[in-house]
């Protein structure tokens, strides 16, 4: 009986692999990182695959936010997105868009008033021909406050 209970616990807490885009080539940048809502920080991936342009996470079931940025040299703007990622105990993954905007990347990089989470996300962009490296980060605000501050920041920038 005890052995079976511990087996069930292990199955319930099974790690799920989840990959995000992370590469910087001559003409594009794809930069995605996962953010832990519970721990209020960007999560360090289990490993990166530079050749495939991916970061791979090993996650427990739960809710995460995915920050994403796509930059193309052919366009004069970048596309920024935040998505909610839910992983249930069966390993099923659901995603829901929370926010997206076309942004001027240079303007944000030079703006000292940009939200701290946004600044930290951009600091971790991949270097040329590599994947992103997640540096130590912790935030005091809850995710809803972070999301609202980013939305307000882009609303102000657009006007």
Q: What is the pLDDT of residue 2?
A: 44
Q: What is the pLDDT of residue 107?
A: 85
Q: What is the pLDDT of residue 36?
A: 95
147 pLDDT exceeds 90? yes
Confidence of residue 112 (pLDDT cuts 50, 70, 90): confident
Backbone angles phi, psi at 117, to 5 degrees: -65, -40
Query: What is the average pLDDT across 116-138?
Result: 92
Q: What is the pLDDT of residue 158?
A: 66
DSSP 3-state assignment of 146?
helix
Q: What is the pLDDT of residue 5?
A: 44
Q: What is the pLDDT of residue 77?
A: 79
Average pLDDT taken over every residue of the chain:
88
Domain housing 20:
2-158
**CATH, residue 63:** 2.60.40.2930
94 pLDDT exceeds 70? yes
Integer angstrom CA distances of residue 41 from 1, 57, 124, 125, 142: 38, 14, 13, 16, 10
Distance CA 53, CA 155 (A): 31
Backbone angles phi, psi at 123, to 5 degrees: -60, -30
Q: What is the pLDDT of residue 85?
A: 97
**What separation, in Å, do the N-terminal and C-terminal C-alpha atoms of the chain show?**
64
The pLDDT tens digits of the residues spanning 19-58 come to 999 999 988 999 999 999 999 999 999 999 989 999 999 9
- Which class for 92: exposed (0-12), middle (13-18), buried (19 or more C-beta within 10 A)? exposed
Q: What is the pLDDT of residue 29?
A: 93
Integer angstrom CA distances of residue 88 from 59, 67, 108, 143, 147: 11, 20, 35, 20, 23
Number of domains in the chain: 1
1 pLDDT exceeds 80? no
Do 59 and 86 contact (CB within 8 A), yes or no?
no
């Amino acid at each position: 009986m005890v052995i079976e209970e511990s087996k069930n616990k292990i199955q319930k807490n099974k790690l799920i692999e989840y990959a995000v885009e992370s590469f910087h080539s001559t003409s594009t940048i794809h930069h995605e990182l996962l953010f832990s809502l519970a721990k209020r920080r960007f999560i360090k991936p289990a490993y990166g695959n530079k050749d495939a342009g991916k970061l791979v996470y090993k996650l427990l079931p739960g809710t995460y936010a995915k920050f994403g940025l796509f930059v193309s040299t052919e366009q004069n703007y970048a596309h920024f997105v935040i998505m909610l990622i839910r992983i249930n105990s069966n390993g099923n993954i659901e995603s829901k868009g929370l926010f997206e905007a076309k942004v001027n990347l240079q303007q944000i990089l030079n703006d000292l008033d940009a939200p701290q989470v946004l600044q930290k996300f951009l600091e971790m962009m991949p270097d040329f021909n590599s994947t992103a490296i997640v540096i130590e980060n912790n935030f005091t605000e809850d995710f809803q406050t972070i999301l609202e501050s980013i939305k307000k920041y882009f609303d102000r920038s657009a006007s």
